[in-house]
Amino acid sequence: MINGGKEMEFRRARNAEQKDIRRQQIINMTARLLEEIGYEKITFTEIGKCLSFTRINLYHYFANKNDIFLELLLQDIEEMVQDAENTFSEPVKNCKVFIGAWTEMMLRHQRMMALFSITNTVFLKGATHEVHEAYRIRLHELFQRLERAVRAALPYFSRTAVSLFVEFENSYAMTLYPASMEYKKAQRIEILEKVGFGTGHFSPQFSKYLEIILMGLAEKDKNGA
Amino acid sequence: MINGGKEMEFRRARNAEQKDIRRQQIINMTARLLEEIGYEKITFTEIGKCLSFTRINLYHYFANKNDIFLELLLQDIEEMVQDAENTFSEPVKNCKVFIGAWTEMMLRHQRMMALFSITNTVFLKGATHEVHEAYRIRLHELFQRLERAVRAALPYFSRTAVSLFVEFENSYAMTLYPASMEYKKAQRIEILEKVGFGTGHFSPQFSKYLEIILMGLAEKDKNGA
């Protein structure tokens, strides 16, 4: 009896582990296909073909492709948060140094920015309730960690200011990145460098923005509002 | 000869006018279909069916659906700019009054925000070179007009500050609006009001942002940078 119980437990554990491995294979393949053929052309049939899975078998792991993308995005955000925790473990006295380091960090996570920028407009429209809910809970945890990293770097800002900083910098990145040279090159969108406002690199504009935001937040803190 | 010339000129004018009317019918029908079935499901066949045009005939006016959407977006932006010109024709002394009026104005142009938020990530990927280029030139002109309206309302800000204000407020709206209650309701996306960071209305968060931005820009102006 006892041995039989252990055996079953072991099998269950192995099955759970097996399932996680499969899920990760699907996520990785989706990431690869994203680069090769783009979001629009990705289908369960295509993912299955590349993994020698049947389409039906894929449904054991994910209900639709948007659920896969939300999971991939969460993994990308987690990497960015870990990067922030490593980069900003102690107070940064010079604001310009912080701004430069933060901008460089964001540029190390371009796929995260690209995916994040279409979460509300694309992924959430097709995701299941369960994955949508799990995504929002996890996103909240990850951004709490990100706020902690910023508080460690900028201890002279209030909690509220740091929380607003994280939201504002992230929101701006979600619009600026898809308009940048970097994104357009990666997505093979024609770059009209000098037409209208022109198309520029991500960093100069993003750094300028962070400076304004931090000045505004410092003012707000000073006024005690 | 002269009469023949006039006759031809008249016909050409009538044809050009006729063509503009047709183009506008197509744009209007696309806007209607956007509300009824959403971007993904819109096809040339579908637009044609609703207008009793053949798919082939549509190609005389637009090369693909993304070109139609860029034109629709430009018309929406123009409406917003006109609204701004009417709303902000004279100096607003109280910053809070300006912020309130600007937020209300943005909420009168929700389709503009929804379309703008997927321009780089969706429309530009499929648009033709000609329409892409014309879009950027027109966008630039419209934003120059928008800046003029803001300069009239906030004459105590520098030109640079106003230009950054317009870019920053617009960028933030493009991320905040698709995450807002208003957008999710319009797009029939499930609203998880209290999960994670929760889902809120557009106005309170947008107003708070405008305040921080304006404080930061005022500081920047003061420092003469």
Q: CA-CA distance, A10 to B223, in Å (whole number)?
A: 67
What was the pLDDT predicted at A1?
Answer: 52
Superfamily of structural domain B65-222 = Tetracycline Repressor, domain 2 (1.10.357.10)
Write out pLDDT tens, residues A178-220. 999 999 999 989 999 899 988 999 999 999 999 999 999 999 9
Please give the ipTM for the structure prediction.
0.91
Compute how many other C-beta atoms are within 10 angstroms of the C-beta atom of residue A146.
22
- pLDDT, tens digit only, all 225 positions of chain B: 556 677 777 777 778 899 999 999 999 999 999 999 999 899 999 999 999 988 888 999 999 999 999 999 999 999 999 999 999 989 999 999 999 999 999 999 999 999 999 999 999 999 999 999 999 999 999 999 999 999 999 999 999 999 999 999 999 999 999 999 999 999 989 999 899 988 999 999 999 999 999 999 999 999 875
**A219: chain B residues, CB-CB within 8 Å:** 215-216, 218-219
Secondary structure string (H, E, C) spanning B120-184: HHHHHHHCCHHHHHHHHHHHHHHHHHHHHHHHHHCCCCCHHHHHHHHHHHHHHHHHHHHHCHHHH
What was the pLDDT predicted at B8?
Answer: 76
Task: Check the CA dihedral A85-A87-A92-A97 and report its sign.
Answer: negative
CA angle A218, A224, A225 (to 5 degrees): 95
How far does the CA of residue A7 sit from the closest CA of chain B (Å)? 39
Mean pLDDT of chain A, nearest integer: 93
Least CB-CB distance to A209: which of B168, B175, B195? B168
**A121: chain B residues, CB-CB within 8 Å:** 114, 117-118, 121-122, 178
> Domain B1-62: which topology?
Arc Repressor Mutant, subunit A (1.10.10)
What was the pLDDT predicted at B4?
Answer: 64
Domain ranges of chain A: 1-62, 64-222
Hey, are the CB atoms on A197 and B139 less than 8 Å from each other? yes
CATH fold match for the domains A1-62 and A64-222: no
**B194: chain A residues, CB-CB within 8 Å:** none
CATH, domain A64-222, list 1.10.357.10, 3.40.50.720, 1.10.10.10, 3.40.30.10: 1.10.357.10
What single string gives the DSSP state of each residue in A205-222?
HHHHHHHHHHHHHHHHHH
Write out pLDDT tens, residues A116-153. 999 999 999 999 999 999 999 999 999 999 999 999 99
Hey, are the CB atoms on A171 and B176 less than 8 Å from each other? yes
Q: CA-CA distance, A125 to B183, in Å (whole number)?
A: 11
What was the pLDDT predicted at A145?
Answer: 98
Write out pLDDT tens, residues A85-104. 999 989 999 999 999 999 99
How far does the CA of residue B11 sit from the closest CA of chain A (Å)? 34
How far does the CA of residue B15 sit from the closest CA of chain A (Å)? 30
- Buried b vs exposed e over A67-81: b needs ≥16 C-beta within 10 Å? bbbbbbbbebbeebb
